[in-house]
Structure 1
Amino acid sequence: MTERGWGRSFEDPIRVGDRVLVTLLDAGEYITALPKKEHAAPEWQAAMEALILVAEGGGPTMFARIGVMCALNRHYVHEFNPKGKQPHWGRRKLKRDQ
């Protein structure tokens, strides 16, 4: 049976500025210490729900870590690079067409 409780550690600690979140309890205290407007954001609510499910249900701590990381990076916008990998068609000629 998996270990349960708020004292469980993340596989990889989460670094937030100069602070390091090592256990589920550290992450929960960090979220509850946020300003009310930020704490009420849906991303933080989902992260807190994931923390509670992992702490009380005994699931993998990676789920809680993913929730916290998604909430921390919610303002990051992925840039689309249209000059990425180019299609190969039209470049290659068959021997009979040379």
Structure 2
Amino acid sequence: MLVTLLDAATYATALPKKESDCAEWQAAIEALILVANSRTGPTMLAGIGVMKAINRHEERVFNPDRKGPHWGKRKLLRDR
């Protein structure tokens, strides 16, 4: 479990060369370096980059069953 940015950096540096060369990990590592150097950088951006790199093989699929029912348009006062 990655809790801090230090955990994420340690995890990223321990990756094999083949895996760390992919574009997702390069972007995540670059965001981690940016946050570490500036200390005021977008820490959320680094976290999102690491999560996208970890889950890069997961395909997001739209589930239409999760969509709520449509109950009709809202009636305006002028249309009553």
TM-score by length of 1: 0.59
Q: Secondary structure at the match of 1:46?
A: helix
Matched, 1:56 2:37: yes
- Structure with larger Rg: 1
For 2:69 and 2:15, how far apart are their aligned partners in 1?
Answer: 44
TM-score by length of 2: 0.70
Q: CA deviation at 1:79?
A: 1.4
Matched, 1:70 2:37: no
CA RMSD, 1 decimal: 2.0
User: Residue deviations 1:37-92, cap 9 Å, x none?
Assistant: 1111110000000000111122132111111001011111011346656888xxxx
Q: Secondary structure at the match of 1:22?
A: coil
Q: Residues 86 and 60 (structure 1 numbering): CA distance in 2 closer, same or farther, change over 3 Å? A: same
Provide the aligned length of Structure 1 versus Structure 2. Answer: 70
Any gaps of 5 or more consecutive residues in structure 2?
72-80
Instruction: Work out which of the residue numbers 30, 34, 47 in structure 1 matches 2:11.
Output: 30
Higher strand share: 1
Higher helix share: 2
AA aligned to 1:78 is R
Q: CA deviation at 1:32?
A: 1.1
